[in-house]
Amino acid sequence: MSDLYYQSAAELARLLEKGEISARQLMQSVIDRTHSVEEKIHAFLRFDPDEALVEAEKSDQRRAAGKSLGSLDGIPIGLKDLICVSGQGLTCGSRILENYVSPYDATCAARLKERGAILWGRLNMDEFAMGSSTENSAFQTTCNPWNTECIPGGSSGGSTAAVAAGETIAALGSDTGGSIRQPASLCGVVGLKPSYGLVSRYGLAAFASSLDQIGPITRTVEDSALILQAIAGHDARDSTSFKAHIPDYQAALKAPPRRWKLGLPREYFAEGLDPEIRQAVEKAVDFYKNEGCEIVEISLPHTELALPVYYILAPAEASSNLARYDGVRYTHRSERAEDHVDLYFKSRGEGFGQEVKRRIILGAYVLSSGYYDAYYLRAQKIRTLIRNDFMDAFKKVDALITPVSPTAAFKIGERLDDPLSMYLSDIYTLSINLAGLPAISVPCGFTSKKLPVGVQIIGQPFKEAEMLSIANLYDSTHRFGMEHPEL
């Protein structure tokens, strides 16, 4: 089987369990594929084939001894380059951390290791996860496998592009305002943002701590359930980790589908939505209707305020979190500094990119004396109203269906000089982060230019099992995520 790199994780787990393939064969297939297409995609910042093959051999030895660690044992999973793995470099796509090496494992990485997954490479991203196109990386621009002249989305663009191109079986990304779901939609793969607090953030380099969540990027909803099962759960080292009951997500997928009541927020289908995106999403809605689901139009009246609220709160938290990168301890240290104050200015000036500087300045401004009440405090109050909109909607429906992105992937460089246009790429995703809800992007077709489109299922807090079931009903019958770009 020469195309093992394009199989789903769940299918590969079954083949490994039956002994029809070995973990070494699978890892070699992924390595060969990466060597073959990485020059065109630029998804990875680093990978170590020799170390990966050693881990694959260990996986095969465990299976031979009857000591398999489960369904993920031997499955290659890439990591966005802001998730700590002991002994590996971590750059966050920034020059300021170019030579940093993680001294410990993030909880999600440790949990994958415990289940025998092979942590395969460090994946490119927008610097400190600030961006929607992966063009803000200090090292390279990742290309969309479906059209290498286009962006893959961001900030987890390296992760989604690698999965779409067959360079890894699955990946982990982070989602602060849509950074898993938007690139998943643009690359034609599945991207899951869990409820805030379900997956530990310990070992995740922080952008905006009240918004960040780690989640899986896969080819199928079943694979997302498989990986979420491994990484979800309370962690005492993360003060925001929630003590939620973790159900059997895969068992939930096998349960007979219900006749769910699904809400269509009218604000998400208004002006600005590309007609081809609307058509693809409406076809997905029609599918659910034909399956016996009740479709209800609802309103989320504060939706138009989500973008300005997000771009007050997220930069405010970023300005605080990024203050630790000061040129003194583990970051880039300017050689041109004349004194200790000059060291801060020059180290940060040389180490941070333009978009990161823009958001730090904006965040410092809204937190400053005289502006805190007018901007930050008011934004927090509106954030509560946005969450209340969703909770009111969930009194009437089980879940919501929306577009993920207003457009398909755009050309590299097309929006670099227009930050507002770039920020609008996340218009349908960032309110979910503000509300702390789970959401998943599922591939639902292609535009006339053969660019992928995703549909978003938004679930109720900590009801990932139900959301996954709803998403799987569509994904298991359409399987758009298993289609491959020609590279």
217: CB partners within 8 A, 6+ apart: 156, 159, 160, 163, 170, 171, 172, 173, 180, 184, 189, 190, 191, 192
From CA 145, how far away is CA 451, in angstroms rounded? 10
Burial class (CB in 10 A: 0-12, 13-18, 19+), 209: middle
Closest C-alpha among 380, 378, 390 to residue 435: 390
92: CB partners within 8 A, 6+ apart: 81, 82, 125, 127, 128, 129, 205
From CA 79, how far away is CA 174, in angstroms rounded? 10
Packed helices 23-41 and 9-18: angle between N→C axes, nearest 10 degrees: 150
Burial class (CB in 10 A: 0-12, 13-18, 19+), 425: buried
Adjacency order of strands within the sheet including 261-265: 44-46, 118-123, 76-80, 170-175, 213-218, 190-193, 439-446, 452-458, 399-403, 261-265, 294-298
88 DSSP 8-state letter: S
The residues that are catalytic are: 80, 155, 179
Packed helices 221-231 and 464-478: angle between N→C axes, nearest 10 degrees: 150
Count of CA atoms in the C-beta half-sphere (13 A) of 407 = 16
From CA 147, how far away is CA 450, in angstroms rounded? 8
| H/E stretch holding 224 | helix 221-231
Cβ atoms of 149 and 184 within 8 Å: the answer is: no
Token pair 């670099």 in the structure block, residue: 416
The two structure tokens encoding residue 121: 């490479």
197: CB partners within 8 A, 6+ apart: 240, 241, 242, 244, 436
